[in-house]
Structure 1
Amino acid sequence: MNRRTTLVGALALTTGLALTGCSTDSKPELKVVGAFMPQPVSDMAAGFLVVQNTGSTTDRLTSVTSPLSDDVTIHETKNQKMREVSSFEVPANGELDLERGGNHIMFMKLKQQPKKGEKVPVELHFEKADPITVDLPVKETTHNPKKH
């Protein structure tokens, strides 16, 4: 009986130490690159960027805000149809790619028409990480860096 108690105690201690190594103290390490907005031709616009996560914890992009519009949402594109979603995963040691023809930020009912050369400020909100403020440079309407 004494041997069994010792074994159970040792297993409990080992399990506790193993779980300590997986502590939730690690945070996602996020950085935004390649941000842009094609110059809008109506009262709607789209935004594109890449969120890189060099941390060991997955995060989620949950919303985007901007002074350009009170109605900013995130959309996924599947089978050439877009629909609003509540969040996008930003994988640990990976990236979330918001690109033309794919997932993107959607701005509705623009308060003004940004022109090529201007910058549109946005704030990205995440489940775990602090918000990130990014300026989206306004590019020509047909700009698509993936086609180069």
Structure 2
Amino acid sequence: MRRPATAAPFVIGTVLAGTLLLTGCGGSASGSESGSGGAELSVNSSYMPQPVSDSMAAGFLTIVNKGDAKDELTSVSSEAAGDVTVHETVGGAMRQVDRLAVPAHGRLVFRSGGNHLMFDELKRKPEKGQTVTVDLHFAKSGDLRVEMPVKSATYNPATGH
């Protein structure tokens, strides 16, 4: 039995709505590079500590690559900020970078005191309990959209408080 041509947009819209709904739960997202043997990226443990500043905030997450190929995070964007930059911390020194590698069968971790995202020129100050939408852009894989929950300013992911 053939479905009418108008059913396809409804099905696609339903699948996309379900995907966005699931993406919002737990501050995670997933996607993959087309074709076999590529990167298979997902995001977990994302959060933003409630910023103390009206203009700047930090963000943390883990990008997991279960695929056979490495990829690179090349940029990050968010409607919540005028600019989002990627920073790495090496030997206690922080510096802005234009890309970070996501190794095959590995992780790229953003945590307090290490790699992190900086949200500059906040359009509104995010409050605990809200979410901030973030788009991660990769060199090879498609973009990933992440719903980053805003936690207390003193949130510790190791304890959940």
- TM-score band w.r.t. shorter chain: 0.7 to 0.9
Aligned partner of 1:4 in structure 2 is none
**Structure 1 counterpart of 2:74, from 29, 41, 62:** 62
Separation in 2, partners of 1:90, 1:135: 20
* 1:70-85 alignment runs, 5 A limit: 70-85=82-97
Separation in 2, partners of 1:51, 1:78: 19
Separation in 1, partners of 2:159, 2:91: 20
How many Å apart are 1:146 and its aligned residue?
Answer: 3.3
Aligned partner of 2:40 in structure 1 is 29
Structure number, greater radius of gyration? 1
Q: Is 2:129 aligned against 1:117?
A: yes
For residue 46 of structure 1, give the secondary structure of its aligned residue in structure 2.
strand
For residue 122 of structure 2, give the secondary structure of its aligned residue in structure 1.
coil
How many Å apart are 1:70 and its aligned residue?
Answer: 1.7
**Structure 1 counterpart of 2:105, from 77, 93, 103:** 93
TM-score by length of 2: 0.74
Separation in 2, partners of 1:106, 1:146: 21
How far does the alpha carbon of each residue in 1:10-64 deviate from its partner, in whole angstroms, 9 at most, with x for none? Answer: xxxxxxxxxxxxxx95210000000000000101100100000000000000000
Separation in 2, partners of 1:144, 1:32: 18
How far does the alpha carbon of each residue in 1:49-94 deviate from its partner, in whole angstroms, 9 at most, with x for none? Answer: 0000000000000000000112110001122221100111100001
Contact in 2 for aligned 1:100/1:144 (Cα 8 Å)? no
Separation in 1, partners of 2:152, 2:98: 29
Task: Give me the CA root mean square deviation.
Answer: 1.4
Aligned partner of 1:102 in structure 2 is 114
Give the AA of the match of 2:129: G
How far does the alpha carbon of each residue in 1:76-125 deviate from its partner, in whole angstroms, 9 at most, with x for none? Answer: 11222211001111000010000111001100111100100000000000
Aligned partner of 1:126 in structure 2 is 138
For residue 51 of structure 2, give the secondary structure of its aligned residue in structure 1.
coil
Contact in 2 for aligned 1:125/1:131 (Cα 8 Å)? yes
How many Å apart are 1:130 and its aligned residue?
Answer: 0.3
